[in-house]
Amino acid sequence: MDSCSVCKKEAVVFIPYSKKHLCEIHFIEMFDRRFRKTLREFSLLKKGERIAVGLSGGKDSCALLHSLVQLNLPLDLVAVTINEGIANYREKTLETAKRECKKLGIEHIVLDFKNEAGMMLDEIVKNDSENIPCSHCGVIRRYLLNKGAREAGADKLALGHNLDDVAQTVMMNIMRNEPSRLARFNTPFVNDRKFVQRIRPFLKTPEREIAIYCILKEIEIESIECPYTRFAFRAHVRSILNNMEERFPGTKFRVVNSFLEIEDALQAKYTKTGLGFCRQCGEPSANEICMFCKNIKMYKGC
């Protein structure tokens, strides 16, 4: 067994991009330190704020909730879970979300697709074989998370998106030639009072390390993937990036850092246009009719 690069005790994990072996204590220390550093670096939180945590019940959002609680800052935390209605998947993660909130004493709000969109995702998918499920789900989930966070009176919406997710999003937008979406990634419609500012405190934390953190911290999560994931464009990009990371450790960090480096320039170019509200529902939208209303109309029509 290798010994910890810091204290020489038995290591439990190897970090390829820094070539370090770490014991349990020093891994958790590194993880927590990076979390706090990210919060400071991007000024993500202010004392006294009400923070809604988008809690799917997966490892990322559960670890995020734990990390935020552990900060011991005067924050007012509330968890928001979206129930899309995906059989054999959401019931289990919803249970996990409920249990974690109870354990940590956090207020928990659950919003159903059924109530808001008129039907559950499984039904939407059944009625529409042309589009991949994730395209609908992403639109509705983002819309409802924002609405849920706003109605809960939150100043910000914290998402569990990790380094891998962000690197994938950057590459996807480039591969689809949608640089304007990248410009809106961190600060979309930031001046609209209807839009709750999103923060991603794990944007510099690799997915693998969140999984290890959950195990070491005994955060019990269902290691269950959304059954629709395999259909998504994202799944391909994920596999490409994982391949690159294995051969060239640090690739994901470099992709995300490159994006952060050019983010200002992207925003200057794109975000001045397209701010507004949906004519139908009044929610923030880049178009006259928001994607949510457009999709809902389509489902009901078919």
- Confirm or reject binding of residue 7 to Zn ion (CB under 5 A): yes
Query: Which residue stretch of 28-36, 159-167, 230-238, 287-295 sits at the interface with Zn ion (rule: CB under 5 A)?
Result: 287-295
Segment holding 150, helix H or strand E:
helix 133-151
* Contact residue for Zn ion among 12, 13, 64, 290 (CB under 5 A): 290
Give the amino acid at 203: L
Interatomic CA distance for residues 272 and 43, integer angstroms: 23
- Confirm or reject binding of residue 300 to Zn ion (CB under 5 A): no
- Confirm or reject binding of residue 23 to Zn ion (CB under 5 A): yes
Interatomic CA distance for residues 198 and 54, integer angstroms: 10
- Partners of 51 in the beta sheet? 77, 156
Query: Which residue stretch of 87-95, 214-222, 253-261, 272-280 sits at the interface with Zn ion (rule: CB under 5 A)?
Result: 272-280
- Confirm or reject binding of residue 15 to Zn ion (CB under 5 A): no
- Confirm or reject binding of residue 280 to Zn ion (CB under 5 A): yes
Interatomic CA distance for residues 286 and 277, integer angstroms: 7
Interatomic CA distance for residues 160 and 165, integer angstroms: 9
- Confirm or reject binding of residue 159 to Zn ion (CB under 5 A): no
* Contact residue for Zn ion among 209, 293, 295, 296 (CB under 5 A): 293
* Contact residue for Zn ion among 13, 15, 21, 26 (CB under 5 A): 26
For residue 51, CA distances in Å to 68, 93, 149, 158, 203 come to 10, 21, 8, 7, 17
Q: How far is the CB of 292 from Zn ion (least distance, A)?
A: 5
How big is the site for Zn ion, counted in residues (CB under 5 A)?
Answer: 10
- Partners of 3 in the beta sheet? 10
Binding site for Zn ion (CB under 5 A): 4, 6-7, 23, 26, 278, 280-281, 290, 293
